Each structure stands twice: as structure tokens, then as C-alpha cells.
Structure 1
Amino acid sequence: MSSESNMSADHTIGRTPTGSEQNEDFHVFGIRHLSPAGAHHLLSFLDTIQPTAILVEGPSDASGVIAQLTSRGVVPPIAILAYTDQLPIRTLLYPLAEYSPEYQAFVWANRHGVHTEFIDLPSETALALHEQRRAWRTNSLLAEDEQEDQQDELEAGQSAAAVENGLQAYLRKQNERYEHIAELAGEPSYDAYWERHFEHNLQKDAYRHAVYEFSAQMRELSELDEREHDAAETAYNEIREAYMRRRIQEVLQAGHAPNKVVVVTGAHHASALDLRFPVMTDKQHASLPKVPTKLTLMPYSFYKLSTHSGYGAGNQAPAYFTLFWECLQKGDLSQLPSLYFSHVAARLREQGNFRSTAALIEAVRLAEALASLQGGSQPTWQDLRDAAVVCLGYGELSTIADALARTDVGTAIGSLPEGVSQTPIQDDMNRELKRLKLEKYKSTVAVTLQLDLRENRRVQSEEAAFIDLKRSVLLHRLELLGINFARKQRVNQEAASWAEHWVLQWTPEAEIQVVESTLKGETIELAAAFVLNERLESCVDIAESSKLIRLACDCGIPKLMEQARNTLQELAVDAGNFNQIASSAYDLSVLIQYGSLRKIETDSLIPLLQQLFLRGALLLSDAANCNDDASKGVVDAIQTLHGVAQEHFEIVDDGLWLQKLHELSSRDDRNAKCSGFAFAILLERNEVSEEQSAQEVSRRLSPGIPTDLGAGWFEGLSMRNRYALLSRLSLWRQLDNYMESLEEEQFHRSLVFLRRAFGSFEPREKAAIAEMMGDIWGVDTDQTGEMLQRPLSEEEKGKLDELNDFDFGDL
């Protein structure tokens, strides 16, 4: 079991029982979650006992979905998800693989018509106690801090961090104990120890008795540390075990013969499920805290089962243990090494790397030899990996790392058929994925999907003609809801307004995010509309409201698009932020230009765009009255508004815009970079004659102008169309004269801006400038190239060092 509290049934804390066997006649079968040998031995045990009731550790309120877990069409791995129905959402997960002993117990019970149920605390209590444990740990830490008088007050964030650090320290100590066991056994890790001594032991009843004794002794060894370091966790597990004993007692009282009842539980709890210990009373049961919760089923993945994703239930390699389980089902575990290496070789072959049959045979022999050195009859997963590195990777892990990952962890995900218990929004998403033929992208491997929003005239049905447009609507809704199944990529083509690139990747977290969205609506569309409406109600600036118009359009929710337009119109009346106005105008421009692609009416947006553009043009000069830090944002906004003017010249007042650019370019009391950028736009549009250009350059780059203003103006000039800039030789001649006229200190100061300006030029543009300057200096092209390519002399290096050490004062 896992949850926000990182619960792991193999490492929970409980009381140490006395005695190694219970005195009741019911049977306790301790297992390690996700243990193929545990599942194998459990099935054999069930065949022998032929129980009438199978009780399994797990949330008791999930007993109603057990029948669905084994219904036709269910493909593990899957998980039971419990979640609170109020914000903030807290979750508890109970994952199951095909080789999980619990899952196989359900399969056996379904096949034999046997009663089965979960017996652990219901999710409503487990999640409530989780919050209480966190609060208890925090309060304990605060009390200790007060006693030690280290500080007057511990902030909430600090206490939470300290609690987590303390818990992590405790878990590290627990892990150290397990690793010490591996060290004593001469194994490289605890997982290798467990596999060799428990998973490989196929003697009848050996697994059950060994797990029981191991659990009892480990509890005895760890009890003192557990009570000292995490009393909250100790108390929690005592509550769990008292509750499970109560449920066992209730089943016995219902008429099941004790010797026909089998309890399947995590190894740690096996020795505690003994009715000699106290059973939870009615009063204690009534006092259990509760928070409202709901349950659902969800597909899970091999990756999430592995410890690589943080779930530490003793299963680092779920794909490997699936092979292990297949061999156990065939009754021949000796096939596992050859099966494993053949899978690695197949993965390598997919990548274009081939391995011979002889190499596979040698790998099997080496793995068996490594196992024999440890006294084992079968190689462990670690033995197989080591042999693969030597024989298939030729000593290099990197050569076969990807193939090993696919063989060990795998990319498989589970699936649930229609009709299996899920939330309405999960059902809606599955229907949408099926309708839009996106089911194949529900994979743990990231896949790029390219969409063409235009009508496909080569197909007959309207559904097929606009399938990419409908896919886009769904993916935008998922992105709005924060469901990480779809991530939109930037398309660099300017003319590709109809193209969208998405990266699709399914994860259990994405499924949980879908479930969490059920609080916003029962369908993806309703949930997306809820989120948009919430953002609109809290919207206070025009930039956000214009983005919400685009979002509503992309998500195919015209009603909210109109609502967002009204919000923008109200906010635009008092808008005075030039940058926000430019951003809003751009969003409206895109919608007006490409709205037909999404089949939306955009005429109502035209007056709003005109209003914003007019306000932006009138604010241009005032916005440019800024410092260098703010100038970048203003320059970007100028560029944005100019793009709107070019794209919609028949709608907006382009003449007024050019007039305001002329005004800004000629003003000396505005930011020099902004003025230079405005002048660059006028140059590009041929609004400035050669004579006017020469006069302005001469005026801006004259010895009487402060160096930072002159060089800053040129930096702004260079930020626009480079071709227009490079085609004017007179400008570069004027810049050359300006640089020659500067005193040494002024020259150094100007380099700050000029180096920054030229730093954004591409290599070919820098080469063109060098050739142009060569012409001005009377140096031919070949000589210029040689000068640029030759190494720096010691004198030139010294000059650069001097420049780096130069004191730029207030710059």
C-alpha cells in the first residue's frame, strides 16, 4: 500500500507479539507485496485448504470492487485509488500486479466462488489518521523545541520540513537494518537476499513459515527504535492491526469455520494478527476519525511499481518478475535465465545491436556460476544483470542500459474495460480517447503527435475531416486541467498556424489528476469550463483576460469565450500598462486571424482589438520613458504591436502607429534602446530616406552624445531586421567614425553596449559586418577572413584582459 504518507506494508511499525504461532485455527499467510513466489505458494496453499473466506490486507471500503478486479477485460497492473472529495485532495493507492499475491487470491476466490474481502482500515479513516499523524509529529517537534528553548517560535514550514527530515532519518535507519541483513548474508542488496532466500524457495509451506518467523524476529529487533523515533507510526499500526483482528473476529462469528479462513497480509503484520491480542472494541471503532472519501479503479504501470518511481514495495524490476511469474506458472523456474537474456537480446536487436546465440549461452552460464558462489540454485535478478553487462554489454553497462531497463522495468500499463468502477470523468476521458483514436497514445513512452487543424478533404465523413481539430480541443482541455497526459510543443514555423505538436505520455499521476478533476465536473468539458470560469472570476488584468479568451477558443467553449470578451472589454477601459495592452492585442489578433480554423465567430473581437491598439499607440512614447531593465519588455511589446499593425493594417490605425514610431525615434528624452528600435522599424518599412537616416545616425552617434546613450541606441537599432541594417553602408561608416572619435574611457564604456548588441548576431551576419568594415578600411575580403581566423597576439590578449578589468562605474 502507498499513499501520501509513503506507507509501505513491508516497513510499517507494530507491536512485537510473543510466540511464533497463533493459537487460533484460522490461517495467516504473510507475503511481500508484489512477490511472485508469494502468489505461487499462496495459490498452492489455497488449493490445499479450500477456504470459504479469504481476508486480505487492504482498505475495507474497497471490498465492493474486488469482483471487478477480476472481471473480463481487466489487465494488470491496476490500482485502487481512494481520494478525499474535498480540497486539498489527499490520496491513498493500493497497486496490484498480475503476480501480486493479493490479486491472485482474488482470482482464486472468483474461480471457486469463495467469499473475499479487505480487512484493513477504510480509506476514510486511513486518510484522516494520516493527517493526525502529521499534526502529532509537528506538535511533538514544537514541544521538544520549546523544552530545549532553542528558539521562540518554529515556523510552520520549518516544522513540516523538520518532521519530514525526521521521518526520512527513521526510514533510513530501517533500510540500514535490512541492508545489514543482506551484508551478513553476503548479498549485494536486501532485494537480492530476499529473492534468493524467499522467492527461489519452492518447497511446500517453506515460504509461509519463513515469512512468519522472519516477520516476528524483525519486529522484535526494531520495536525499541520504532517507539523511540516514530511513536505516531507505531500507534497507527497498532490501530490498523486491532482493526484487522476485529474484522477477522467478525468473519468467524458470521459462521465461517476457523480452519477455512485464510488471512493474506503483509509480512510485517503476519505475527500480529493473533486474537490473543486485543481486538478493537465498539467504542474504539466508533471513535475512529473520518474524512469523506471516494474510491475508483485506475490503470497502473510497471514503471510506477518499480522503486525508480519511489514506490518501495520490494519490486525494482516488475517486468523481470513478470517473467519470473510466467516461469512459476509453467513449473520450471530454470527457464528464467535464458528467457531473461533472450528478452535483453530482443531489445538490443530493436536498437540495431545484435548478439550471438553463443553470447546468450555464456551469459546463462555466468549467471548460474555467480548463483552457485552464493550457494543458490537459481540466479537472482542481480546475478542476471551482472552477467548481461559482461557477456552482452562487453563490460559496459551503458551499452545495454536501455535494453536492461525495458527488460527489468518495462513500459507496460494496465487497462480497464468499460463498465468497471470508475469516476464519471474517467469514463468520459476514455470515451473521448476512443472516439478520437488516441487510445494507442496511452503509453508510458512519450510520443509526439502532430495535428493539422485544417479540414481533411480526402475523407468522406465530417468526423474524420476534422478529427485533428477535435483532438486539439480535447488536449487543450486536459492541459488546462493540469492533466499531464498532453504537453503542447512550440511550432517554429511562422505560417504553421494550423499545425500543433503535442507530446503525449500516460502516467498513473495523470490518471490521478483526472480523478481529482471530478470535483470540477463530471466530464472533461464541464471540468475545463469550471476552471476557466474560476479564473475569469479572479481575473484583474487585460493580459490574463485575453489569454482566457484564447483558452476558451482552444478548448471549444464559446459561452465562456464571450464571457471572457466582456471581462476584457470592461478592463480595457482603464488599461494603462503598455506591455499588457500589447499582449492582449496579440491574443485577439491571433484569434481574428485564425478563428476560422476553429470554426468560431470573431467579428465581435474586432472593435476590441481596435480599442486596445489605439490605446497602445497613444501610450507608446510614455512607455519608452523607462530604464534599461524595463526596456526589454517595452521593446518586446513594441514588436508585438507592430506585428498586429502589419497583420491587421486594414482594421487598426496603422498611420497613427507610424506617426507614434516617428515621434519616439526622434525623442532624446526616452530610453535610447527603445528609440533605436523604433527607428529600426521605420528603416525596415522605408519610412526614412537615406539622407534622414544619415542625419539621425550622425546625431545619435556623435562625440557630444553620452557613450551609453549612443551605444544603447545602436543596440536597439540592431534588434530589428538585420538585412535592412546590413544593407546601409552609410550607417556602418558613421558608426566607425563615431568609435574613432571616442576617448579611451568612453570607448571602453561603449563596448559594454556594442558587445551586447553584436552578441545576438549570427556568425554569418558577423562575417558580413567584418567584410563591410573591411571595405570601409580598404581591406579586401580575403585579408579580412585571414585577420578574423588568425590567433590573438599577446598584445591583443592583454587588451582584452584590460577590458575585462575595466571599472564601468555605475553601469
Structure 2
Amino acid sequence: MEEAVSCLQRDEPGMKPHVFGVRHLSPASAWHIEAFLDAIMPTAVLVEGPADMSGLIPDIVRQRTKPPIAALAYTEELPIDTILYPLAGYSPEYRALKWAASKGCHSEFIDLPAKYSFVVHRREETEEREEGEAGGERHSVYEELARLAGEQNYESYWERSFEQIRGLEGFFSAMAAFSSELRSLAEKTDSQKEQDYNNLREAYMRRKIAEVIAAGHHPEKIVVVTGAFHIKGILEETGELTDFSKLPSVPIKMTLMPYSNFRLSSQSGYGAGNHAPSYFYMMWQCLREADHEKLPFYYLSSLAAELRKSGTFRSTAEVMEGTRLAYALASFRNGSPTLQDLRDAAIMCLGHGNFSVIADACAKIEVGTAIGELPDGVIQAPVQEDFTRRVRELKLEKYKTSSLSELRLDLRENRRVKSSEAAFLDRNRSFFFHQLNVLGIGFANQSGYKQDQASWAEQWNLRWTPESEIRLVETTLLGDTIELATAFVLKERLANAQNVSEASSVIRDSWLCGMMEMMEEARAAVAALGAEAADFPETAAAVGQIAYVLQFGDVRGFDTGMLKPLVARLFLRGALLLPGSSGCNNEAAKLVLKGIQEMDETAAQLYKEIDEPLWLQTLREICERDDLNPVLSGYCCALLLEKNEIGPEMLEQEVSRRLSPGIPADLGGGWFEGLCLGNKYALLSRAYLWEKVDRYIATLTDEEFLRALVFLRRAFSTYNAGDRSKVAEILAESWGLNVQQVSEQLNEELTEKEESVLDQLNDFDFGDW
């Protein structure tokens, strides 16, 4: 109490409120502000934060609200902009609001409303682009403070200089001095725009304080909690009076969202965060237990425990030795150990001098994986409420964490349960996950699942992040529910589709999302666009998209029969377009090759629906023609070989024709590359092919060999050591050499010089062919 009274004497009693300077996410600030409030017992607690977020305070301080959380403001018009106001359990602002709620004390945010800040930020971004300033790195006033103090970085400077102050009066005085020094440096480093913006904010805060005084609160019973930078600006009248009613604004909405330790950390780019939120939570616990001396041991023992979990044993003796070393390092600066001191001690005593040994454990102990929670009934956007409802209905609550979880789905009906909801739980989960993917909400990411290529199974990786929540809020303008927002996005994509491929992707996504009406709308659009399609790669892509849906049958509970006539018409058009598209250069051939693969896979899967004889005829035409891209001709030859449409004699004739002496290296090498893109095992058994390739290469000049080498290298890129050994056996017999010696030479690692030469060859411009 005496310390608090001493602090009061620095202000002018009866004229000014008590302005308590803090740092966001500072345990010491939170600890001292609670003590200060207990001593002063104010009737009003005013906190730096967007004033139009004050309506969120009752939900912020609710008993079941679990930090970290963030208040989020977002614009109601496109493009959507957001402003975040994060709070941890040890944020001084959060502790002040909680204190006010527990005492029935008035509390509100008093900083410039977000509706004005959006306009200011947009204007500054526009001016920066026009002036060419965007992207420039400005000198940091905080790093300058650390440099002047002789610390490695600002975080170490702050922790040693302020987090270790235990006396309230000492902390209060230190923050006042810090504020003065910070503003002095900012005047030299901040741009005029930044200074003007801070002046505007402080003028607004002074106005809000005046309103609270006018409402009947005595200045001596008002406590303002603000970033230390603003102490002087709030206490001293500066600049001209501002008519805030004339400031431009944008319509906005507010919501609360769970936040995470990672997002709070400086790794995520949030400027007012700290680099080790989990470590500072440890510090907060120690302060609340009035045992701040245990922090070094707490940190190091937690680190050792994490190492043990991963199989790296570290003893208690090593933890004790690390604690002693941390104190020894801190003694050079006459203080207690900081995180930097503890990290250095951990590297020596637990990592045995190697940081990589403890790196993963440090990330978990210092940053952590904690994610906040909000109780039911908290003010949220309609789409957030719908998301929460569906997560609950689909029994996914336990997966809404920042830790990665795997979930396997069985889309078939579960006949062992009674209700239809339970019977198709996994199918409905799949619909939900795919809808989130369409909206770009990164909660669930699909991964491969192999169980006899089961068409009824899906595997998903689930992780919830604040970025997911932000994206969820941003979809509020698209619809009040996840399904309505998804339908809006799919309709927009269909309306903006420039070709049949883009439109057919809407068919596939509509089917994955369980939205049959949308799928039918997309089918009609694809049918119209397909009738005029003139591009083979786009048409082939459309065929592949629709074939993907058809190959799964009714596994998602929908009849997809209406797509069969459509895929048949598109396949016919693609087959007719292919020959004319194959007379292209190698760059364009990449897209054509992908289209051939999609068409061929469709022919294998849907042979009853499409014209398979026409497809085989088309492949044979590409294979036999000499005026088309050789890579494509070689690949079509490989496909026909796989289908047993080419016999040994015909293949030998084609090899002789394509790899005869005098055939340019680009043509011969390109054809062989295309041939090797098919079933390599069908080629390994044909000795005459490799002997012919060998004789063809022997006829090339040095320059031609270099040109052919690029194609040959790509051709063999998919061959493993066993494949190369098989080729070695064939060639060794042909050359009359020892098989093992040839195999060893072929599998020998290239030298750096040889790799360099080959890399240079890849950069050569050999023309279209």
C-alpha cells in the first residue's frame, strides 16, 4: 500500500488519473498492475485497446474463457481487413479487466476505434505503394535500446531490465523512465506518419478519460493501463484538438476467437507479442506463487523432462549444474538469469554443447502449443456459430487443438448404429472437411490413404490455428453458414470459369462437399463449354476431373450417372484434339503429356463409357507420325506397349526407325525419353532395345552426344539402382565385359565436376526440339 501511495505522488492528485505503463504480454506488468489496483481500489479501469471493442469485455472476462484469446475487428466490405487484439493469461490488460470484473468496477477500452484505424492503415499502405516505400526495413527503436544497454537483443534487455523488478514503486519509476527514453528515440526514428498516428490515438484516449471523469469518476479513482510509450502522451496535452466525428471510417464487426501460443510468439510476426509465451507463463506462475527464484530450475527441469519424452535421457544432476551455470552467467550483469542465460546453460549442460539436441524441446517449452477456449454464448459471427455447431454435431471437439491429429474416415454406412446421423457420421465429416477446404479454412488437410486403394476411405490431418479462425471470420460475408459460404464460392468459381477444365473442377468439388444441386449446375455449364472446347490439355483435365467422381460410384450417397454421357462427349473431343496438339515444342509437350496421362487413366477406369477403340487409334497415330513431338510419340509408343497393342517385332522396327544413324540427337533422345516415361519394366526385358540405344549413341558426334545427354538423363531419372543393374547386365553381355564391373560403374556417384557439367547442359537452349 505504501508503494502504491508513493507511486501516486508522481501524478498530480485531483487533476490526473493514474497512468500505469505496461508492456503487452509482460508477466511483471500483470503482477504489478494487480497489486496497484488492489492498493488504489479504483472505480474505473481504462485499458488501451480499440474503444469499439468494449462490448466484448463481458465475454473476455467470463469465468470459462481461457486465454490466449484475441478480439478481432473485421470490415463488412470487400476486401476484408482485420485488426487483432491478443490477450494471454498474463497480459496486464487482461488482468486489469479481470480485476475490474471481480470488483464490479467500470472498465472499457479507450484507444482509437478500429473503424477509424482501418482507414488510416489503408491510406498509409496506398501512400507507401505510391512512394515506393513498401518493403523497406526501418531501424527498430527497440533494438536500438537493447544496443545502448549492451544486450544481445531487445527481449533480453526487457527481461533483465523490467521483468526482474519486484518492487511496485521501482517498476512504476522504471516504466516512466523507459517511456521517456522510448519517445525520445522514436522522435528520431519514427516517420512523421507514425508520429501523427500516435498523436491521434493519444488524443482519443485523453478524450475518453475526460468522458469517464465527466460521468462522475474522480481522477484519483481512475487507473489507465497503457503501453509505456503512451504515458507522456496521455498525461500531457499535445497537438491540436481533433474533431473525431469528421474522421473517415468503415463499417466493421467484432468477434472473439481462440488464440495460440505460436501466434503470440514473435515467430508468427505479431509485433506486440513475445518470443517465448510458454516460458513467460512459467514466469507468471512463479510470480503468483511468490517464488520467482524457482524459475531457472522450473525451466531447465521442464526441458529435461521433454528431452526424456523423446528418448534423450538427462539427469537431475545435469539440471542442477545447468541452474548453477545460468546464475553464473547472470552474475556478469548483476541480475537473475534471463531466458538467454537459461538457453546458453541448457545448450552446455543438457545439449552437451550442441543446440540441435535440445532445439525441439526448447520450442515446446518456450513457445508451447497452448490454444485458448471460448465458452458457448460468446459473441461470434454467424459462420463461427455454425462452425462450432457442426464441430459438436460431428464429434470433432477433441481435434480442435494446435496439435496435429490424424483421423481416418470410412464413408460407408455404419449398420451397427441406430440413427442415420451416426450411420453416416464419417461421410458427413468428409463433406464438412471438403467444404472448409473450398473456403480456405485450414483445419483439415487430406493425406493419402492406401488400403487396397479403398474408395471408401479417407485420411485427414487436423490442426486448429488462429489463422484458421481468422479465415473463418472472413467468410462471414459469403454466407451465414459453412454450407452457404461454400455454395457462394463454388458459384463464383463457376461464373468466372474461363474454360471447361475450370468449370469441371466445380463438379468435383461440389461432389466432394455433398452439394448435388451445385454439381448439377456445374454439369450444365461444362456441357456448354465442352461443346466449344478447342484446347486438348484443358479438355483432358476436364475428363480427369469428372472421371475422378465417377470412379467412386455411390460411395458418397449420390447418383452420379448423369455425368457418364458428359464424360463420354468430352473424351471424344479430347481424342480428336490430341493429334493437332502434339506438333508442339517440348515446353508445351509437358501439358499435352499430362493430358494424355489423364485421358489414358480415364480409358482404363471407364472403358464402358468411353470410345476405347478411338483412343487406341489416336495413340497409334501419335506413335507412328514423324512430324509430331518425339517425346509424345515415344510416350504413346510406351502406352501401346503396356496394352499389348504393339508386339516385339513392331517395337523393334519402331526402335530401329527412331534410333537410326543420322537421326538428330534431339529427336532420337526425345523419343527415347518419352518411351521411358511408360512402364520401365516392360523395357528392361528387351535386350535389343538397349543394344540399339547403345549403337545409336555410338554414332553421335561429341556435340550431338551432349544434346542427347539431356534427354537421356531425364529418361533414366526414374530408374533405381536395381533397374540400372539390369541395364548393366544387358550391356555387359553385348560388350563382352564383366557384369559386376559395369554395374558398379553405372551406379557410381557422380563427382561434383560431373554434376556441374550436367547442370550446365540443362540450361542450354536447344530450340523447340
TM-score by length of 2: 0.91
Which of the numbers 510, 522, 525 marks the counterpart of 2:468? Answer: 510
- Report the equivalent of 1:577: 535
Q: Which residue of 2 is the match for residue 120 of structure 1? A: 111
Find out whether 1:286 has 2:245 as its counterpart: yes
Show CA shifts across 1:189-246 (max 9, x none): 3333332332222223332233123313432x236415xx511111111111111111
Structure-2 change in CA distance of 1:63 and 1:644 (3 Å): same
Amino acid at match of 1:43: E
CA–CA separation in structure 2 for the residues paired with 1:444 and 1:549: 32
Q: 1:343 to 1:751 in 2, by over 3 A?
A: closer
Equivalent residue for 2:270?
Answer: 311
Q: Report the CA distance shift for 1:20/1:231 in structure 2 as closer, same or farther (over 3 A).
A: farther
The answer to whether the 8 Å contact 2:141/2:186 transfers is no
User: Match for 2:158 among 194, 201, 204?
Assistant: 194
Matched, 1:177 2:144: yes
Q: Once the 2 structures are TM-superposed, how far is the Cα of residue 443 of structure 1 from its aligned partner?
A: 2.8
Helix, strand or coil for the counterpart of 1:581? helix
Q: Give the CA deviation at 1:543.
A: 0.8
Distance 2:707 2:177 in 1: 80
Shift of 1:715: 2.5
Secondary structure at the aligned position of 2:177 is classed as helix
Q: Kindly tell me: are residues 693 and 182 of structure 1, through their superposed partners in 2, closer, same or farther at Cα, counting changes over 3 Å?
A: same
Shift of 1:181: 3.6
Distance in 2 of aligned mates of 1:543 and 1:317: 47
CA distance in 2: counterparts of 1:679 and 1:606, whole angstroms? 28
Q: Percent identity?
A: 48
Matched, 1:132 2:91: no
Choose 324-333 or 191-200, whichever is displaced more.
Answer: 191-200
Q: Please tell me whether residue 62 in structure 1 is matched to residue 53 in structure 2.
A: yes
String of CA shifts for 1:310-334, please: whole Å, max 9, x gaps. Answer: 2233622211111111122122212
In structure 2, C-alpha distance between the alignment counterparts of 1:673 and 1:316, rounded to whole Å: 53
Deviation, structure 1 residue 514 = 0.7
Instruction: From the superposition, tell whether residues 267 and 303 of structure 1 become closer, same or farther in structure 2 (CA, over 3 Å).
Output: same
What do the CA deviations read for 1:470-489 (whole angstroms, capped 9, x no partner)? 22222221121122233333
1:557-568, aligned counterparts within 5 Å?
557-568=515-526
SS in 1 for 2:313: coil
Amino acid at match of 1:266: G
C-alpha deviations, 1:77-106, integer Å up to 9, x for none?
111111111111121111111111111111
User: Which 10-residue stretch deviates more, 688-697 or 492-501?
Assistant: 492-501
After TM superposition, give the deviation of residue 126 of structure 1 in Å.
1.7
CA deviations over 1:530-575 (Å, ceiling 9, x no partner) = 1111011111201111111101111111111111111100001111
Question: Whole-Å Cα distance in 1 between the matches of residues 195 and 702 of structure 2?
Answer: 76
Distance 2:439 2:282 in 1: 38
What is the match of residue 4 of structure 2? none
Q: Secondary structure at the match of 1:428?
A: helix
Structure 2 gap ranges (5+): 1-8
- The answer to whether structure 1 residue 353 and structure 2 residue 306 are counterparts is no
Partner of 1:153: none
What corresponds to 1:76 in structure 2?
67
Is the 2:115–2:252 contact (alpha carbons within 8 Å) kept by the matching residues of 1?
A: yes
Q: Residues 260-299 of structure 1: matches in 2 within 5 Å?
A: 260-274=221-235, 280=241, 284-299=243-258
Distance 1:71 1:438 in 2: 24
Amino acid at match of 2:69: I
Match of 1:343 in 2: 302
What is the rounded CA distance, in whole Å, between the counterparts of 1:216 and 1:805 in structure 2? 61
| Contact 1:62/1:295 (<8 A) preserved | yes
- Residue of structure 2 equivalent to 1:430: 388
* Letter in structure 1 aligned against 2:313: F
The match for 2:605 among 610, 632, 647 is: 647
Return the alpha-carbon distance in structure 2 between the equivalents of residues 466 and 525 of structure 1. Answer: 18
Q: What is the Cα deviation at residue 458 of structure 1?
A: 5.4
Q: Contact 2:143–2:153 (CA<8 Å) still a contact in 1?
A: no
- When residues 70 and 775 of structure 1 are mapped into structure 2, their CA distance, relative to the original with a 3 A threshold, is same
Among 378, 398, 402, the residue aligned to 2:360: 402
Aligned to 1:672: 630
- Is residue 247 of structure 1 aligned with residue 205 of structure 2? no
Identify the residue that residue 3 of structure 2 maps to in structure 1: none
Residue correspondence of structure 1 range 367-406 to structure 2 within 5 A: 367-376=326-335, 378-406=336-364
Aligned AA (1:364): T
Change (3 A) 1:334 1:688: closer
Q: Is the 2:47–2:225 contact (alpha carbons within 8 Å) kept by the matching residues of 1?
A: yes
Q: Tell me the distance in 2 between the aligned counterparts of 1:254 and 1:703.
A: 99
Aligned pair partner of 1:522 in 469, 477, 480: 480
Deviation at 1:54, TM superposition (A): 0.9
CA contact (8 A) 1:58 1:94 kept: yes
AA partner of residue 241 (structure 1): E
Matched, 1:684 2:642: yes
TM-score normalised per structure 1: 0.87
Displacement of 1:492 in angstroms is 7.2
Q: Greater CA deviation, 669-678 or 448-457?
A: 448-457
Do 2:264 and 2:273's aligned partners in 1 also have CA atoms closer than 8 Å? no
Residue 204 (structure 1) aligns with: 168
Matched with 1:4 is none
* Contact 1:191–1:314 (Cα < 8 Å) also in 2: no
Shift in alpha-carbon separation, 1:278–1:741, aligned structure 2, 3 A: closer
| Residue of structure 2 equivalent to 1:548 | 506
For the residues of structure 2 that align with 1:669 and 1:313, how far apart are their CA atoms? 64
Aligned to 1:215: 179
> Deviation of residue 398 (structure 1)?
1.8
Code of the residue aligned with 1:384 in structure 2: it is: L
SS at structure 2 position matched to 1:597: coil
**1:589 aligned partner:** 547
Q: C-alpha deviations, 1:124-148, integer Å up to 9, x for none?
A: 012222223344x54xxxxxxxxxx
SS at match of 1:298: strand
2:45 alignment partner, SS class: strand
Residue 743 of structure 1 deviates from its aligned partner by 6.3
Paired residue secondary structure (1:418): coil
Q: Tell me the CA shift for residue 579 of structure 1.
A: 1.3
In structure 2, the residue matched to 1:31 is 22
Cα offsets for 1:496-519 (capped at 9, x unmatched): 443434333322222111111111
Backbone CA RMSD of aligned residues: 2.9
Question: Of the candidates 570, 586, 590, which is equivalent to residue 632 of structure 1?
Answer: 590
Alpha-carbon contact 2:143-2:154 (below 8 Å) kept: no
Deviation at 1:75, TM superposition (A): 0.3
Check conservation: 2:546, 2:567, Cα contact below 8 A: yes
Counterpart residue number, 1:724: 682
Q: Deviations over 1:744-785 (max 9, x none)?
A: 665665444334323333322222122123334455645644
Distance 1:441 1:530 in 2: 27
Aligned partners of 1:479 and 1:689: how far apart in 2? 47
Aligned length: 755
Note the alpha carbon deviations across 1:267-322, whole angstroms, 9 max, x for none. 111122226557846xx122122111111101111111122222233622211111
Question: Structure 1 residues 401, 463: closer, same or farther in 2, change over 3 A?
Answer: same
Would the aligned equivalents of 2:11 and 2:18 in 1 still touch at CA under 8 Å?
A: no
CA displacement at 1:391 relative to structure 2: 2.2
1:86 to 73, 77, 82: 77
Q: Which runs of 5+ in 1 are unaligned?
A: 1-18, 139-155
1:661 and 1:679 in contact (8 A); partners too: yes
Change (3 A) 1:242 1:792: closer
Deviates more, 1:457-466 or 1:172-181: 457-466
